[in-house]
Chains A and B, each alone.
Chain A
């Protein structure tokens, strides 16, 4: 492998060694210095239009934009001297003269780079005494994105994202100079399945999410770093919630999984979490029952059915820890028929994976077999089934004398336990590319709910005296590590928030 040549330069008095040609915004980042920037984005081409990243390079005369200036040996850079600060203050004053300053009604408030930089780099006053430019507001760019041209600083991140990453090249700039405004080409509606990423990368409040806008101020929300479970990609996300209800998901940078992006489908796929009709307590023969009663009923059903045969169907939405606990129950009962469905659909070249579940790999690792297209024609003594939140439901023709289900919504069964969603528990899954990732609990849908792993462990303890399940997800994971050679050496901490690659054999591709 050829070695990238490195250069050593001085930035604000700090000497740093970086790959030759690395732009100064990134060089500064490595040196722990934040050069303000709007139009620069590490994954997009350099536009160099916002001019807020101006820095001084000794001996270069004019100030240079950090984003388009490559590091070279012996360079001496100043990112915050008097000259740079004055220029930056000027840019901030100019950016705000036509800005509506409507932070009080703007969704971006709290995560707005205009606010941040105005405070950090602005003068705090304006000398602009004219009527601000009037531009189109509340412009619908389709059913997901809303555009406000007056807030827009024309950094063209959205233009470049749609062209260079999403490949749809559907936003452009109309008019000229101070009248410039963004437009969507064609019928004015965006088509990209990745269009909502432009809301995230918009540094100001010009692009807002129709789904999220006006729902909550950011400072009232809780943010949880977890992953999306809509497909096997496992895009890293920050999930925003308030009062234990999910309000939005935005992508979280992970170069090994999803880079800076996520698909709109995954992002918008959370309504089922908030659904008020969800099952919030176990049911025995159609009537609400406390957990101990339901677990006891399940135990007797399963023990009685052992001779007639038990069919176990896991869900590829279960965490590895849940699957492990399920294994324990099935081992205690001696169940051999262990399956899981693997819902599939369309994928694409960017992120969307054709496997529409987060953990088929984990299910396979836990010894479950992919469900057959045709189930054997027989009547089972009992069916123990985790109903996936979508797709791959079992055929109605599958016959069982007794049914024990885990389900999001109430279903016809002898015992029906409530499912919890991915955002209600800690655990791990194995995403595409055999990347082991962690889920983080962000909300509590209903305080009385007990997560599946605990329910399964209690059932296990009821079946096998002396069994004691682990308390925390980290402890559960440690048991997994002890049981699976593929996880050797891992700890909950090591998996961290970015996950780790595994080397698995025999897991679905």
Chain B
């Protein structure tokens, strides 16, 4: 995906095509049926890159056969802390996203696709708009694409700055012009999504994978990476490492320790890594002792965390776990949409509890209380935002309990 990312001209249609762009689309529209495209994606084993890791081909197969219009929504509301990969695709190689979106539309029978881009990404939006304009002028978008009779159009929709709108159902609600509240499932969007029509919501990176899957075949894609985490994946590594950045790797080829200590050079301070959030802040923190785990979806899950969006955040030994907890708690309590009781009330309560460790006045029972309130939130709400706060908070108090206790003692004597 990042093969041509360093070429500033790659974002133009001309260079994209020169590098083999839109061949997958030609191939699909001329030689493959929509079902063939879906089959190829199923074969590739590609799993969602947004965080949940749902198998993409299986999701597409949920689209029912109806006369209702169908929609594709590309989730480009990249807001997960520590995650900045979709932006690279949109800004450096936007046509592979457009091509993937057209392929997905062809597969699911959609004639309209929306790219819901994070509002804080005006640069991405401008580049996408330009790419869409070019594609439209070249007959790659709109009516009768490449003379094959396939009609499809793409629209960019800017978000308004809410983290929650990256959640697929609130993205749809927001796209419809309403307040970005997640919706109950069932019905799942594939059955009843945008304007109550079948809708597939896929992450930017997932859709970009589709371009390569159709171009080179599902088998080729499946041969990369490892079982359960096929293909390559973009990793966003930030925090206390010497060489942070967005990297493309095959999954499962090395451990987290190899990635962080060898490839990224360890911490700038030279102190040992203290903790890592391997998949954005919405997953359980992993301690130094837990880093010898293979870096793929299933291995990380087995280790008690999640690969999530592969937005990997590292903090070193000089960082207070309580500070980390407060940072995370403030984020989620600010971003909770307020719809469900546990998240609305619990997220802010946890924020206040964590803050009390730093301000003084906390007791050791507060450590358990944070855990209890996080448990109230875990698995009890409409969307996963409450889980996304509960998991890091629970793991932080479980794994760094002595630090919380130290604050209690220190502030009590101060």
Chain A residues within CB distance 8 Å of chain B: 46-52, 54, 62-63, 65, 68, 87, 90-91, 93-95, 97-98, 127-128, 130, 133, 153-154, 172-173, 175-180
Contact = CB atoms under 8 A, between A and B. Distances in A.
A153 B345 CA distance: 10
A92 B280 CA distance: 31
Contacts of B400: none
Contact of A91 (B162, B186, B333, B342): B342
Nearest to B183: A48
Nearest to B333: A177
A173 B341 contact: no
B344 interface: yes
Contacts of B184: 46-48, 65, 68
Interface centre among A46, A54, A95, A130 (most CB of B within 10 A): A130
A177 B341 contact: no
Nearest to A173: B179
B339 interface: yes
7 contacts: A51-B340, A51-B342, A52-B341, A62-B379, A90-B380, A130-B352, A176-B336
Nearest to B381: A51
Contact of A94 (B186, B333, B341): B341
Given A54-B380, A128-B349, A177-B335, 4 more contacts: A62-B380, A94-B345, A177-B343, A178-B345
Contacts of B369: 127
A180 B380 contact: no
Contacts of A91: 341-342, 376, 380
A47 B338 CA distance: 13
Nearest to A172: B179
Interface string B310-336: 000000000000000000000001111
Interface size class of B (residues with CB under 8 A): 20 to 34
A177 B348 contact: yes
B382 interface: yes
Given A172-B179, A179-B338, A90 B344 contact: no
Contacts of B335: 176-177
Contacts of B333: 177-178
A377 B102 CA distance: 84
Chain B CB count within 10 A is highest, among A50, A175, A176, for A176
B204 interface: no
Nearest to A153: B341
B346 interface: yes
A47 B179 CA distance: 14
A93 B376 contact: yes
- The list of the 4 closest CB pairs from A to B, nearest first, reads A180-B338, A90-B376, A94-B345, A177-B336
Given A49-B341, A94-B345, A94-B349, A177 B380 contact: no
Nearest to B180: A176
Contacts of A94: 341-342, 345-346, 349, 373, 376
A51 B379 contact: no
B297 interface: no
Contacts of A153: 341
Contacts of B382: 48-49
B352 A50 contact: no
Contact of B334 (A93, A128, A177): A177
A180 B342 contact: no
B337 interface: yes
A244 B378 CA distance: 52
B347 interface: yes
Contacts of A50: 340-341
B375 interface: yes
Contacts of B375: 90
A126 to B, nearest CB: 10
